[in-house]
Chains A and B, each alone.
Chain A
């Protein structure tokens, strides 16, 4: 038979693990979360005849403290990212979301492809002045690509001196397009984030 101190230790241990798993959130937020969950458990116990079973059931319903912390973190990031234009925050958020399922993973891939494309445009734009004969928009039979080429046989360059300004604009458009698309996907997806258990 478990005594009250043993139950307190069990709850305290759970909350301590939660607190340490939330260490990267601002401390007032962490304190608030831990306090709220403690209050919830305490109140559940008050009306319960079998306290030990209740503690186990409630803790199981909260899930592993590390998983619970992860859910909080994802929800906070989704709240921020849906109102953000920062590619870094969007990439970080979708990266985290990708860990939670196929939907998040798909959105993360959109982020990766979009921002990689932008990075590619910028990179070749910067290389153009140093390798004017190798960097360009190459058009040939069955090929059409931006970038660096060692062999320029069978293809010709289309943009010349306009290469750098054109790719810089394309890079900006890729960043803006990806960012807007991600915000849209996050807004559409976040309402489906919650998991309903024990149905």
Chain B
């Protein structure tokens, strides 16, 4: 009984991790919708507004790729605190891509909500 529960728990954890992983790129792009941010700010924004606890070692390589793909641009800015920060913001192509992803996401989640509504609604 106990091992069975454990393995089910593992499986649903893994499923949740996969789900979050799939949305990662959209979440990073979406965090920049309101304007420029630097890496640490992005991590904080994602944690505060989406509960995504993203590892540093995951974020920066993805930012490098999004930049190489022309979806983001970056610039070093000297902060008041005396050390520089690398800010990122969306290019026109990045905004287009973000909008497409968000649209696909909204369509997908609203069509699924109808299906899962009786389950989540019936939850005690």
Contact = CB atoms under 8 A, between A and B. Distances in A.
Q: Is the contact region of chain B dominated by helix, strand, or loop, or is it mixed? A: helix
B102 interface: no
A23 interface: no
A196 B65 contact: no
A72 B84 contact: no
A61 B55 contact: yes
B62 A199 contact: no
Given A42-B83, A43-B40, A44-B40, A196 B21 contact: yes
A79 B65 contact: yes
Contacts of B96: none
- Size class of B's contact patch? 20 to 34
A100 to B, nearest CB: 12
B85 interface: yes
A142 interface: no
A61 B56 contact: yes
A35 B85 CA distance: 9
Nearest to A80: B68
B17 A71 contact: no
Contacts of B54: 196
A42 B81 CA distance: 11
B11 interface: no
Interface stretch (A62-70, A104-112, A170-178): A62-70
A58 interface: yes
Given A42-B83, A43-B83, A194 B58 contact: yes
A197 interface: yes
B22 A191 contact: yes
Interface string A36-79: 11011011101000000000001001110001100110111011
Contacts of B76: 35
Given A196-B55, A198-B53, A39 B21 contact: no
Nearest to A70: B61
B40 A61 contact: no
23 contacts: A32-B86, A33-B64, A36-B86, A37-B60, A39-B86, A40-B56, A43-B85, A61-B56, A67-B57, A68-B57, A71-B57, A72-B64, A75-B61, A78-B65, A79-B65, A191-B22, A192-B21, A194-B21, A194-B58, A196-B24, A196-B52, A196-B58, A197-B57
Given A191-B25, A199-B17, 8 more contacts: A32-B86, A39-B84, A39-B85, A63-B57, A75-B61, A75-B62, A191-B24, A196-B52
